[in-house]
Structure 1
Amino acid sequence: MFLVRGSLVRKAIAVAVASALGACSTLPHYSQPQSAVPDHFASTPQPAAGWTVAAPADGEARGPWWTLFNDDELNHLEAQVDVSNQTVRKAVAQLEAARSMVDYQRAGYAPVVTAGASAQRYRTSQNVVHKGLAGHTVPDFSTGLAASWEPDLFGRVKNATVNARDNAQASEADLQSVRLSVATDLAIDYFDLRSLDRQKKLLDDTVTAYAAALRIVQQQLKDGAIDASAVAQAQTQLESTRTQDSDIDVQRAQLEHAIATLVGQPASSFSLPPKVETVALPQIPAGVPSQLLERRPDIAAAERRVAAANAQIGEARAAFYPNLTLSATAGLESSFFAPWLTASSLFWSLGSQIAGTLFDGGRRAAALNNASAQYDGTVADYRQTVLVAFQQVEDDLSSLNTLANEADSQQRATAAADLSLKLTTNRYQAGAVDYLNVVTAQTIALSNERAAEQIDARRIDASVQLLKALGGGWDRNALTDANATD
């Protein structure tokens, strides 16, 4: 009875010790790094510029951000990015690799079971003394199972799993950053191409008008009403405009090729027909700066890497503690097949081993210092990412405000240039001025019309950049298992 009770006591003590050890955790407490966040954006645009400040409805679910521009062709192109863009596909592959590492590390919780079979013959030397098999040839046939398990007493497996999970979430946010960047590049190239289409239409119409004017002055020269200088001026203006018109074709072709690459198609087999409809600026709620911490995938990725670095400190700490390994083997072994499956051929073993490093010359301490330094580095990266995000939003808001004022001013300049051209043409027809004045007025009018179109294009580009800077409608709650613990 005493022996039985002693055995139970020893088992209870072993369980208690194992439970106490299992309660130990080497994972440092983690909290998201603090970063200075302003209360509002300094350059929040005024409603008169076509923008609104954040409203409660800003928290509602959004569709793809590019649909705000109401362009079906752009929507069709953007839909091809996830399917065909090679940069996005590489980021998807990197995410899958990161997720596989989570499964790899989590497998450390489970025991390792191996199975094997062997057949061999061996002979020992006849000259070996005190050995019963000296000089004999012995066949040996065996098969068996072996299992080993290392309880995660100090969180080594847990810390590695948390590290891998946080890195996988960072890779997921990286993928969203890549998608956002590629989609932004595509939208900017597309809208720039459409701006060139509108400029091309303007130049085509201008070339037609200048060609008609040249014919008129040529006829006037034949009639002796003017001298040859007017014809030369008209010819110069026409050819100069034709040069600008041809240059548009070069720029458009390059943008078309860039779009083809972004949607994963060969440039030689891709084309977009011209389209001259204007694009309306969408209303984009800027929100408050603190929302950037949830909306920007690059900020989320940086924060997840801080969490992963924190788990790496836990891994380095766990290396200071011993490892307990439980093992078991069982199988059949015999020198002949006949008795192989009998009970007498059975062999088995059970065992445990606890081992720890007593001296390593400071290697584990150095690894812990390295992990702590890497953590500090990731915190700095996170805070820098937040600062850059605020800068980008402020830059784009400021650009939109300034460009809105430029557009108003340029619209007045364009209207004035058109009026000047009309008045100068009337004076020329009345013989009050020579043709040089008409050429000058026409050049100024064309320059102002192109400038107005280019400012509109810059406003569209700035609105796209603002959508990107605000995260494109993404939210960090979309991260897989964002709040999961192991």
Structure 2
Amino acid sequence: MTAVAVAALLSGCAAVGPDYARPPLDLPLAYKENAGWKPATPQLIDASQPWWEVYHDATLNALMAQANRANQNIQQSEAVYREAQAIAAAARANFFPTLGANAGATRARTNSSGAVKLGDDYSLGLSASWEPDVWGSVRRAVEAGDAGTQASAADLAGARLSIQSTLAQDYMQVRALDLQKKLYAASIDAYAKSLALTQHQYAAGVVLRSDVALAQSQLAQAQAQAVDLQAQRTQLEHAIAVLTGQSPSRFTLAALDDQGTAQMAVPVVPPGLPSTLLERRPDIAGAEQRMRAANANIGVAQAAFYPQIMLSASGGFSSATIGALFNTPSRIFSLGAALAQTIFDGGLRRAHSDQAIATYDASVAQYKQTVLAGFQQVEDNLATLRLLDEEAAYQAKAVEASQLSERLALSQYRAGTATYLGVVTAQNLSLTNQRTAAQLRGRQLVASVALIAATGGGWNATDLATSSPSSSSTASKTPARAGS
């Protein structure tokens, strides 16, 4: 009884090994690329609504719902999360004693000093053993298991956010290609009319055969580029099908009309303060939880330097006949305590401790690198959006000027005061500028998605406390968390 009391008292002592503390970081007070840009009221991205709804596109919303349900990478991450939960539960089970039951029946022939004896033996009993967590090894293992579960939950959120952002970016590129395809369809129609005009003028002897050839070349080139756009769109459509868990052969993404495509606005996303990024990005949260697990594993390794205490008890019945098995004289029991200490292991425990410390140091470096990479991604996308906004303003002026030049050149050609080469030059310049403007629109939309993903998509580290595979796989329950 004394051993049990001592073990119970010691099990309440502090666990060996260092307690976890987040390493210090030199965080900036604000993002450099966010200074003085976009004074308009931003659209908040938080867990109150799915982040992709800021684009006001019903088709995108439906695709996101499908991806949240059926994407196989998300399903894999959910399975890994459940595995981490089971590992943590296995570590927690070491807090409790192990109980066992046994029953046996034997018939044996023995020879003792020439006396041969044939007899039976029956037994029935219970046994229990328990190793008190005197030095905190189990507590540290549970701490590591819980941290591993939290890291896996963050990985699940990160995987979902990655799938969602990839899907949104692919979708934005498809819509940008739809704009370009409509532009080329209008240009091909205009070029066909220009070809007909030159053919009529050639038949009338007004222009040279070279003008007809030039018009034919221009039309064929535009048709070829339109086919190339369709090839790009087809590949993106196939990628979207896989992201939503569907076979490409069974998936078709219809083109939006001119009005629907033009209404896709680039949302203004507030990046927040750099210090909040530590709680808003699942990859940073996951890296910190791995660091916490590595810190706890140092305690597990250091606990091996201390002696082990094992308590055991057993009781039951043993008799030569079944009828007498439960009689009082057949009762048996045992109580015991054992103390074991490794004296020499060739440096094995020290090596394990050094390994745990090195693993922790590596996790600290990985955590800090993940934080720096997160800051870089936010700064990159802030700069991209700011510069693309400026570029789009200049490009709009270029489109306006080139369209005027095209109209004037065509009027002069019809009046016979300009060559068809001037018309082709003006038309090609106008088409190029309009296509560049459409591409810029797509790049702005893609960059806005990247910024939302870089700032966590509305996810917060407090979600780790309540996350579970069942809830995280249901988009309607947690729609805006990195996923939901």
TM-score by length of 2: 0.92
1:14 Cα offset (Å)? 6.9
1:327 aligned residue (312, 322, 328): 312
- 1:243 corresponds to which residue? 224
| CA distance 1:426–1:402, shift in 2 (3 Å) | same
Is 1:77 aligned to 2:63, yes or no?
yes
Q: Secondary structure at 2:465's aligned position in 1?
A: coil
Q: Partners in 2 of 1:118 and 1:323 — Cα distance?
A: 31
After superposition, residues 98-117 of structure 1 pair within 5 angstroms as 98-117=84-103
What are the Cα deviations for residues 192-238 of structure 1, in whole angstroms up to 9, with x where unaligned? Answer: 01111111111111111111211121111111121211110110000
CA distance in 1, matches of 2:236, 2:223: 20
Aligned to 1:435: 420
Whole-angstrom CA distance in 1 between matches of 2:464 and 2:425: 60
Shift of 1:403: 0.6
Equivalent position to 2:121, from 133, 136, 140: 140
Q: How many residues are aligned here?
A: 463
Q: Which moved more, 1:328-337 or 1:170-179?
A: 328-337
Partner of 1:349: 334
Using the TM superposition, name which of 24-33 and 107-116 deviates more. 24-33
1:196 maps to what in 2?
177
Q: Where in structure 2 are the equivalents of 1:50-449 lying within 5 Å? A: 52=42, 61-124=47-110, 126=111, 128-129=112-113, 134-276=115-257, 277-278=261-262, 279-449=264-434
Structure 1 counterpart of 2:79, which letter?
A
Distance 2:200 2:35 in 1: 54
Letter of the 1:150 counterpart? E
Cα separation, partners in 2 of 1:169 and 1:359, compared to 1, 3 Å: same
Alignment of 1:445-460 (within 5 A): 445-460=430-445
Q: 1:16 offset after TM fit, Å?
A: 5.5
User: Judging changes above 3 Å, is the alpha-carbon distance between structure 1 residues 50 and 477 closer, same or farther for their aligned structure 2 residues?
Assistant: same
Residue 156 (structure 1) shift: 1.1
SS of 1:22 mapped into structure 2 = coil
Whether the 8 Å CA contact 1:297–1:476 is kept in 2: the answer is yes
| CA gap 1:401/1:24 in 2 versus in 1, 3 angstroms | closer
User: Contact between 1:49 and 1:401, CA under 8 Å: does it hold in 2?
Assistant: no
| Structure 2 SS opposite 1:211 | helix
| Greater length-normalized contact order (CA 8 Å, ≥ 6 residues apart) | 2
Q: Distance in 1 between matches of 2:106 and 2:329?
A: 20
**Against the structure 1 CA distance between its residues 431 and 45, is the aligned structure 2 distance closer, same or farther, given a 3 Å change threshold?**
farther
After TM superposition, give the deviation of residue 324 of structure 1 in Å.
Answer: 1.3
1:39 corresponds in structure 2 to 29
Contact 2:19 2:296 in 1 (8 A): no
3-state SS of paired residue (1:148): strand
Q: Which moved more, 1:74-83 or 1:159-168?
A: 74-83
Q: Measure the CA separation in 1 of the matches of 2:354 and 2:37.
A: 53
Q: For structure 2, which runs of at least 5 residues remain unmatched after alignment?
A: 468-484
- What amino acid sits opposite 1:217 in the alignment? T
- Other structure's SS at 1:28 match: coil
Kept in 2: contact 1:421–1:441 (CA 8 A) = yes
**AA partner of residue 87 (structure 2):** M
In structure 1, how many angstroms separate the alpha carbons of the residues matched to 2:47 and 2:172? 25
Return the index of the structure with the highest Cα Rg: 1
Relative to 1, partners in 2 of residues 1:59 and 1:261: Cα closer, same or farther, differing over 3 Å?
Answer: closer
CA contact (8 A) 2:60 2:171 kept: yes
| 8 Å Cα contact 1:49/1:404 also seen in 2 | no
Mapped contact 1:23–1:153 kept (Cα < 8 A): yes
In 1: Cα distance, 2:466 partner to 2:310 partner:
31
1:308-366 CA distance string (max 9 Å, x none): 01100010111111111111111222222221222222211111111121211111111
Alpha-carbon distance in 1 for matches of 2:161, 2:138: 34
Where 1:135 maps in the other structure, the secondary structure is strand
What whole-Å deviation, never above 9, does each CA across 1:26-59 have from its counterpart, x for those lacking one? 031211111221111110064548675xxxx969
Shift of 1:252: 0.8
- Distance in 1 (CA, whole Å) between partners of 2:379 and 2:116 is 89
Contact 1:147 1:327 in 2 (8 A): yes
Matches of 1:16 and 1:157, distance apart in 2: 18
**For the Cα contact (< 8 Å) 1:115–1:145, is it kept in 2?**
yes
d(CA) in 2 for partners of 1:391, 1:237: 44
For residues 126-182 of structure 1, the C-alpha deviation after alignment (integer angstroms, 9 at most, x for no partner) is: 3x54x9xx5222222222111111111111111110000001100000111101111
| Cα distance in structure 2, aligned partners of 1:407 and 1:462 | 14
CA deviations on 1:62-96 (whole Å, 9 max, x unpaired) are 31211111111111111122210000000000000
Give 3-state SS (helix, strand or coil) of 2:345's partner. coil
Greater shift in the superposed pair: 74-83 or 17-26: 17-26
TM value normalised by structure 1? 0.92
> Which amino acid in structure 1 is aligned with residue 186 of structure 2?
D
Distance 2:350 2:324 in 1: 55
Inter-CA distance 268–14: structure 2 relative to 1 (3 Å threshold): closer
Q: 1:450 to 1:59 in 2, by over 3 A?
A: closer
Q: CA RMSD in A?
A: 1.9
250 and 481 in structure 1: CA distance in 2 versus 1, 3 angstrom threshold: closer
C-alpha distance in structure 2 between counterparts of 1:49 and 1:218, whole Å: 54
Is residue 317–residue 368 contact of structure 1 (8 Å, CA) maintained in 2? yes
Amino acid at match of 1:343: T
Cα distance in 1 between the residues matched to 2:151 and 2:47:
23
Q: Residues 308 and 481 from structure 1, CA distance in 2 versus in 1: closer, same or farther, beyond 3 angstroms?
A: farther
How far apart, in 2, do the equivalents of 1:271 and 1:46 lie?
42
Deviation at 1:24, TM superposition (A): 3.9
Distance 1:49 1:246, change over 3 A: farther
Name the SS of the counterpart of 1:479 in structure 2.
helix
Are the structure 2 counterparts of residues 332 and 78 from structure 1 closer, same or farther at C-alpha, using a change threshold of 3 Å? same
Q: Distance in 2 between matches of 1:48 and 1:361?
A: 65
